[in-house]
Structure 1
Amino acid sequence: MASFVTGATGFIGRFLVSELVDHREGPIYVLVRQSSLHRMETMIAQWTRGSGSLRVVPVVGDLGEPSLGVDADWITEHAGEIDHFFHLAAIYDMTADVATNDAMNVQGTRNALELAEALEAGCFHQVSSVAAAGDYHGRFDESMFDEGQPLPSPYHRTKYESEKIVREECKVPWRVYRPAIVVGDSETGAMDKIDGPYYFFPLIKRLRDNLPGWLPLVGVDLGDTNMVPVDYVAKAMDHLAHLPDRNGEAFHLVNPEPQSTIETINAFCAAAGAPKFATPIDRNVTSSATGLLPRALRPSNIISAVVRTAPAQLLLDQTLGRMGIPAEVVSHASFTAVFDSRKTEKALAGSGIAVPDLESYARALWSYWEENLDDSTSRDKRTCNALQGKHVVITGASSGIGKVTALKVAQAGGIPVLVARGKDKLEETKATIELRGGQAYVFPCDLSDLKAIDDLCARLSTELPSVDFVVNNAGRSIRRSLRLSHDRFHDFERTMQLNYFGAIRLIIGLMPKLHEQKSGHIVNISSIGVQTNPPRFSAYVASKAALDSWSNVVASEVVGHGISFTNIHMPLVRTPMIAPTKMYDKFPTLSPAQAADLVIKAMVEKPHEINTLAGNAGAVAHTFAPKAAFRILNLAYQVFPDSAAAKAKAGRPDAPAAPEAAAPAPTGDLEAAGGRESEQMLMARLFPGVHW
Structure 2
Amino acid sequence: MIPGLARGPRRTAHAQAIVTGAGSGIGRALALELARRGGRVVCADIDEASAKETVGLIEARGGEAIAVVCDVAQLAEVEHLAAEAAAWHGGAPDLVCNNAGIGAGGKLVGDVAFADWQRTLGVNLWGVIHGCHVFAPRLREAGRGGIINVASAAGFTAAPRMGPYNVSKAGVLSLSETLAAEFAGTDVGVTVLCPTFVRTGIFGGELIDAKAADLAARLAKVAGFSADRVARMTLDAHDAGRLYVVPQLDARALWHAKRHLPTTYTRAAGLLGRFAPALEGEKR
Distance 1:472 1:462 in 2: 19
- 1:607 corresponds in structure 2 to 242
- The Cα offsets for residues 7-50 of structure 1, whole Å up to 9 and x where unpaired, read as xxxxxxxxxxxxxxxxxxxxxxxxxxxxxxxxxxxxxxxxxxxx
Q: Give the superposition deviation at 1:626.
A: 2.5
1:582 to 189, 195, 214: 214
Measured in 1, the distance between the counterparts of 2:183 and 2:275 equals 44
**Which of residues 94, 105, 111 in structure 2 aligns to 1:485?**
111
The reply to whether residue 406 of structure 1 matches residue 41 of structure 2 is no
The offset of 1:379, in angstroms, is 5.4
Q: 2:85 aligns with which of 455, 460, 475?
A: 460
Q: Partner of 1:626 in structure 2?
A: 262
Matches of 1:630 and 1:388, distance apart in 2: 41
- What letter corresponds to residue 475 of structure 1 in structure 2? G
Aligned partners of 1:624, 1:425: CA distance in 2, in Å? 42
Unaligned 5+ segments in structure 1 are 1-374, 643-688
- Correspondence 1:471-550 to 2 at 5 A: 471-482=97-108, 485=111, 488-550=113-175
Matched-pair contact (CA < 8 Å) for 2:11–2:145: no
Runs ≥4 in structure 1, deviation > 4 angstroms?
none
**Residue in structure 2 matched with residue 470 of structure 1 by the alignment:** 96
Matches of 1:585 and 1:408, distance apart in 2? 24
**Gap change, CA 1:553 and 1:387, over 3 Å in 2:** closer
What residue identity is the alignment partner of 1:529? A
Query: What code does the residue aligned with 1:620 have?
Result: H
- Counterpart residue type for residue 492 of structure 1: W
Spell out the pairing of 1:11-410 with structure 2 (5 A cutoff): 378=4, 380-382=6-8, 385-410=10-35
The amino acid across from 1:626 in the alignment is: P
Aligned CA distance change for structure 1 residues 482 and 558 (closer, same or farther; 3 Å): same
Contact (CA 8 Å) 1:400, 1:592: kept in 2 or not?
A: yes
Root-mean-square deviation (CA), in Å? 2.4
Letter in 2 for 1:583: L
For 2:263, what is the secondary structure of its paired residue? helix
CA distance in 2, matches of 1:474, 1:450: 14
1:478-510 per-position Cα deviation (integer Å, ceiling 9, x unaligned):
103325625x12222212111111212122212
Matched position secondary structure for 1:514? helix
Extract unaligned runs of 5+ from structure 2: 205-209
Higher relative contact order (CA 8 A, sep 6+): 2
Please give the alpha-carbon distance, in whole angstroms, between the structure 2 residues aligned to 1:543 and 1:483. Answer: 14
Residues of 1 paired with 2:35 and 2:11: CA distance? 12
Instruction: After TM superposition, give the deviation of residue 633 of structure 1 in Å.
Output: 0.7
Letter in 2 for 1:380: A
For 1:483 and 1:522, locate their aligned partners in 2 and report how far apart those are by CA, in whole Å.
Answer: 32
Q: Is the 8 A contact 2:190 2:238 kept in 1?
A: no
Is the aligned partner of 1:551 residue 2:187? Answer: no
Displacement of 1:427:
1.6
TM-score relative to the length of structure 1: 0.37
**Does the residue aligned with 2:234 lie in a helix, a strand or coil?**
helix
Q: For residues 196 and 163 of structure 2, what CA distance do their matches in structure 1 show? A: 16
Alpha-carbon separation, structure 2, partners of 1:389 and 1:574: 27
Q: Cα offset for 1:527?
A: 0.6
Per mean C-alpha deviation after superposition, the further-off stretch among 467-476 and 579-588 is 579-588
Letter in 2 for 1:378: G
Give per-residue Cα distances to partners, 1:373-392, cap 9 Å, x unaligned. xx9x9353348x54343111
* Structure whose CA Rg is larger: 1
**Residues 620 and 449 from structure 1, CA distance in 2 versus in 1: closer, same or farther, beyond 3 angstroms?**
same
Residue 529 of structure 1 contacts residue 541 of structure 1 at CA under 8 Å; is this kept in 2?
yes
Contact 1:382 1:604 in 2 (8 A): no
Length, aligned pairs only: 268
Residue in 1 aligned with 2:207?
none
Q: Is 1:597 paired with 2:232?
A: yes
